[in-house]
């Protein structure tokens, strides 16, 4: 089959990691008889440099007219200016909103081979970690009314009942396919938007009597992730809480360079990106871990193209390379073999 993929490499390590993911996709195409056609668009800092704004109508159109979007990351100190209207991150929020990608799936899985890279003690890791963080992606603090003046500033965590219902529904549906345990994370003790969130979760829970629903405050969830992460299976939460908790969960699996994501809506186009940012501190050094991006294209194959065997093949290749002891710097430990971004991409491609 033929697929059109919009590629937004972005800034910092974005181009380095996306190049490796494309190599892997091309090899999958060869092996299984698919043709992936790429069209490059611009987002974030590179778009500011070229067009004076972080997201253009052309990029939105390109994405809307593709079968899926592959994204690297955006941002960096070069664009850290005070004018909030032209920050690279605005482009990222803009494309998520334009495509109405309200569901962000962030699976945090600890690979067996990486148990030594996790900061958790073996008795806490037990048989391993496998959780799904479902983050609401087009509402909340990042999209609410805001103002910045010299004397005061505010952001608003605004949610409609409908916005909460559709993401919590995803939470129940996904939990039902997993271990039937859903943790809804909010801060209903202090935030009104969280009070509504919790009320909706309780109401919707009546339609899913087979799924155990647990309510947890976000600050407690941050702590529980460290002391007892195995209690979590599926987490559903608001945009900002999900952003923070998924970065935390990623480190339990060894590195933020390991965690992929899928951003989905009710339309046809899904967007796939690692959960990390543009890592300006290591950009251009050839040492970034490309695995989160490579696993993101596996999610693309699974969720957008329904190519399950192809997705499994990528995930198994990643596991095989890790089992053989190859590591980028972020997951390196004594006795393993340190490799760079390109070498890691090549190794995974060879194992497909």
Ligand X SMILES: CC(C)CC(=O)C(=O)O
Q: Smallest distance from the beta carbon of 115 to ligand X, in angstroms?
A: 25
- Locus of tokens 């969280």: 194
Residue from 277, 327, 344, 349 touching ligand NAI (CB under 6 A): that is 277
Nearer to ligand NAI by Cβ, of 183 and 293: the residue is 293
Q: Smallest distance from the beta carbon of 296 to ligand X, in angstroms?
A: 13
* Binds 142: which of ligand X, Mg ion, ligand NAI, none (CB < 5-8 Å by kind): ligand X
- Locus of tokens 């957008």: 304
Residue from 76, 107, 171, 270 touching ligand NAI (CB under 6 A): that is 76
Residue 131: partners with Cβ closer than 8 Å, 6 or more residues away: 107, 108, 109, 229, 232, 233, 234, 235, 249
Nearer to ligand NAI by Cβ, of 16 and 310: the residue is 16
Compute how many other C-beta atoms are within 10 angstroms of the C-beta atom of residue 207.
Answer: 9
Subset of residues 217 to 246 that bind ligand X, contact rule: CB under 6 A: 243
Contact status: 275 vs ligand X (CB under 6 A): yes
SS (H, E, C) 42-56: CCCHHHHHHHCCCCC
- Locus of tokens 């003790």: 189
Nearer to ligand NAI by Cβ, of 49 and 199: the residue is 49
- Locus of tokens 């509504």: 196
Q: Smallest distance from the beta carbon of 247 to Mg ion, in angstroms?
A: 6
Q: Smallest distance from the beta carbon of 19 to ligand NAI, in angstroms?
A: 13
- Please tell me whether residue 206 adopts helix, strand or coil conformation: coil
- Please tell me whether residue 140 adopts helix, strand or coil conformation: helix
Residue from 89, 116, 155, 319 touching ligand NAI (CB under 6 A): that is 89
Compute how many residues bind ligand X; rule: CB under 6 A: 6
Q: Smallest distance from the beta carbon of 237 to ligand X, in angstroms?
A: 13
- Please tell me whether residue 17 adopts helix, strand or coil conformation: helix
- Please tell me whether residue 167 adopts helix, strand or coil conformation: helix
- The response to whether 277 counts as a known ligand-binding position is yes
Contact status: 95 vs ligand NAI (CB under 6 A): no
Give the Cα separation of 118 and 195 in Å (integer): 34
Residue from 243, 310, 315, 330 touching Mg ion (CB under 5 A): that is 243
Contact status: 49 vs ligand NAI (CB under 6 A): no
Residue from 22, 68, 69, 92 touching ligand X (CB under 6 A): that is 92
Both tokens assigned to 140: 């909340």
Residue 279: partners with Cβ closer than 8 Å, 6 or more residues away: 12, 13, 73, 288
Query: Residue 78, CB half-sphere, CA atoms under 13 Å: how many?
Result: 17
- The response to whether 96 counts as a known ligand-binding position is yes
Among the listed residues 49, 57, 219, 312, the single catalytic one is 219
Residue 187 falls in the annotated catalytic set = yes
Q: Which segments of 238-306 are extended strands (E)?
A: 260-264, 270-274
Q: Which residues bind ligand X (CB under 6 A)?
A: 89, 92-93, 142, 243, 275
Q: Which residues bind ligand NAI (CB under 6 A)?
A: 13, 17, 73-76, 89, 92, 256-257, 273, 276-282, 288-289, 292, 330
């Amino acid at each position: 089959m033929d697929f059109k993929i919009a590629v937004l490499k972005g800034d910092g390590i974005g181009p380095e990691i996306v190049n490796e993911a494309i190599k892997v996709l091309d090899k999958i195409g060869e092996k299984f008889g698919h043709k992936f056609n790429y069209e490059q668009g611009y987002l974030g800092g590179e778009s500011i440099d070229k067009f004076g704004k972080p997201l253009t109508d052309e990029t939105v159109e390109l994405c809307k007219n593709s079968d899926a979007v592959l994204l690297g990351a955006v941002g960096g100190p070069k664009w850290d200016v005070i004018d909030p209207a032209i920050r690279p991150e605005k482009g990222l929020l803009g494309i998520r909103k334009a495509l109405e990608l309200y569901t962000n799936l962030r699976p945090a899985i600890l690979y067996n081979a990486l148990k030594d890279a996790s900061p958790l003690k073996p008795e806490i890791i037990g048989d391993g970690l496998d959780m799904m963080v479902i983050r609401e992606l087009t509402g909340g603090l990042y999209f609410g009314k805001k103002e910045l003046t010299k004397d005061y500033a505010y952001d608003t965590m605004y949610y409609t009942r409908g916005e909460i219902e559709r993401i919590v529904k995803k939470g129940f549906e996904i939990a039902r396919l997993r271990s039937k345990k859903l943790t809804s994370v909010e801060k209903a003790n202090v935030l009104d938007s969280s009070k509504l969130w919790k009320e909706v979760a309780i109401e919707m829970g009546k339609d899913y009597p087979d799924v155990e629903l647990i309510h947890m405050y976000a600050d407690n969830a941050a702590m529980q992730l460290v002391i007892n992460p195995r209690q979590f299976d599926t987490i559903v939460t608001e945009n900002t809480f999900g952003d923070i908790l998924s970065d935390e969960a990623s480190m339990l699996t060894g590195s933020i360079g390991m965690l992929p994501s899928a951003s989905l809506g009710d339309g046809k186009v899904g967007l796939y990106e690692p959960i990390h940012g543009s890592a300006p501190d290591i950009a251009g050094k050839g040492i970034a871990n490309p695995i989160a991006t490579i696993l993101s294209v596996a999610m693309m194959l699974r969720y957008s193209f329904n190519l399950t065997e192809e997705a499994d093949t990528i995930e198994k290749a990643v596991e095989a390379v890790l089992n053989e002891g190859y590591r980028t710097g972020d997951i390196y430990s004594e006795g393993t073999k340190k490799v760079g971004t390109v070498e890691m991409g090549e190794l995974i491609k060879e194992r497909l």
